[in-house]
Amino acid sequence: MNWRVAQRRVICSGDWSVERLAAVERQIRRNAPMTSGEWRINLGEISTLDTAGAVMVQRLCRRLRTAGASVQLEDVSAERHAVLKLVASEMEVTPRRPYSNPLERLGRRVTDGCFGITEYLAFIGRLTADSLPRMLRPHRLRWHEIAVELERAGVMAIPIIGLLAFLIGIVMAYQSGDILQTYGANIFLVDLLGVIILREMGPLMTAVIVAGRTGASYTAQIGTMHLTEEVDALRTMGVTPFEMLVLPKFLALLIALPLLTVWADAIGLLGGMLVSSLLYGVDFDVFLRRLPTAVPPNMFWVGIAKAPVFAALIASIGCYQGFRIRYSADEVGRYTTISVVQGIFWVIVADAVFSIVLFSWLGL
């Protein structure tokens, strides 16, 4: 661009198409003089002018006009004239979204938090109302869906849960074995590993992995089905999404999680046993012979009893968050994250409640 300030002329030249406009814009911003008078803008030397370029011409004109100048365009061909007219015809201001102040946002978050609980309870209520009639007539349950979910949530989780349980068994045996060895109390590894793995680590860790794996997939699946209107399609066919989507997942997880816990218990103990025999001289047969006397069976049953509760929490939170997804792909990510975080959070809270109730009140 050639600025001839003395003659009040601008000669625009070159490529004014959208890819090259940034340089033009910079020139206008830097060089446009703030002088009034009668300016003439020559467009004859512009090689290409697209609509974005035309917008830039308008911006140049506006800038000169705000400085009090009057502006005349010259050397404008007929087709460019049409494009420029199109751009100039309206200069409306887009209305803004209503601004929300921080206080309002805080209030909204609080009420959302409070009503979130009631919404969740309403969800549980509807799920129960839809499920009970089916549960009373088991032949009407969707066994096929349950089997599919059982495979996804249960069978396919076996390798990862086995591997992690094995590693945790190894780590715990290794860490506690060192301390016990200093007292010559290696044999108590059996008691320690038995209690910790069967009662706490087995169920808790399995639930955490399942919350991350399965809870997230429940949320994402139901949410995506919402976005593609599949849920609405089910509704129009008189099938409630609860009994079609939620109930099979719920039941499947109720079955799968205790079984996975048993698996995690066994593999965790195996890992612990391996370290005990290799490093601390507690052989397999010694370990296995001591285990039933060292760890009363109710330790095992307490661990297994927690699993269905964890499963109910994970499945209901996962599905509930899925139903909150309404409009956008964004929400799928957001609510899936919430689902996993809340799932793990409530599993740990439930575990703490179990410890307090069972241990201090019932003396188990």
Partner 1 sequence: MADPAIRIRNLVTRLGDRTVHNELNLDIQAGCLTAIAGSSGSGKTVLLRAMALLLQPVAGTIELFGQATTTLSRSAERGLRGRMGVMFQRGALFTGMTVLDNVAFPLREHTALPRSAVYEIARLKLRLAGLAPEAATLYPSELSGGMTKRAALARSLALDPDLLFLDEPTAGLDPVGATAFDKLIVHLRNLLGLTVILVTHDPVSLWEIADEIAFIGAGRVLASGPAQALTQSLEPAVRCYFGGARMQRAGASWDQK
73 binds partner 1 (CB under 8 A): no
- Binding residue (CB under 8 A) for partner 1 from 90, 183, 184, 237: 90
How many C-beta atoms lie closer than 10 Å to residue 329's C-beta?
11
Range 91-150, binding partner 1 (CB under 8 A): 92-97
The whole-angstrom separation of Cα 1 and Cα 295 is 87
- Binding residue (CB under 8 A) for partner 1 from 7, 327, 362, 363: 327
Q: 17 or 186, CB closer to partner 1? A: 17
DSSP H/E element including 166: helix 158-182
70 binds partner 1 (CB under 8 A): no
Stretch touching partner 1 by CB under 8 A, among 17-25, 159-167, 192-200, 292-300: 17-25
Stretch touching partner 1 by CB under 8 A, among 6-14, 81-89, 194-202, 210-218: 81-89
35: left (phi over 0), alpha (psi -120 to 50) or beta: beta
**Count of residues that bind partner 1 according to CB under 8 A:** 29
- Binding residue (CB under 8 A) for partner 1 from 32, 55, 64, 319: 55
119-122's contacts with Cβ under 8 Å and 24+ in sequence apart are 119/320, 120/316, 120/317, 120/320
For residue 148, the minimal CB distance to partner 1 (Å) is 23
14: left (phi over 0), alpha (psi -120 to 50) or beta: left
How many C-beta atoms lie closer than 10 Å to residue 46's C-beta?
22
17 binds partner 1 (CB under 8 A): yes
326 binds partner 1 (CB under 8 A): yes
DSSP state letters, 54-80: HHHHHHHHHHHHHTTEEEEEES--HHH
The whole-angstrom separation of Cα 133 and Cα 283 is 53
Can you list the positions of beta strands (E) in the chain?
A: 2-4, 9-16, 37-49, 69-74
For residue 227, the minimal CB distance to partner 1 (Å) is 8
86 binds partner 1 (CB under 8 A): yes
For residue 333, the minimal CB distance to partner 1 (Å) is 9
288 binds partner 1 (CB under 8 A): no
For 329, what's the count of Cα atoms within 13 Å in the CB-facing half-sphere? 0
Stretch touching partner 1 by CB under 8 A, among 36-44, 131-139, 196-204, 322-330: 322-330
Residues forming contacts to partner 1 in the complex (CB under 8 A) are 17-19, 21-22, 25, 50-52, 55-56, 59, 82-83, 86-87, 90, 92-97, 227, 326-330
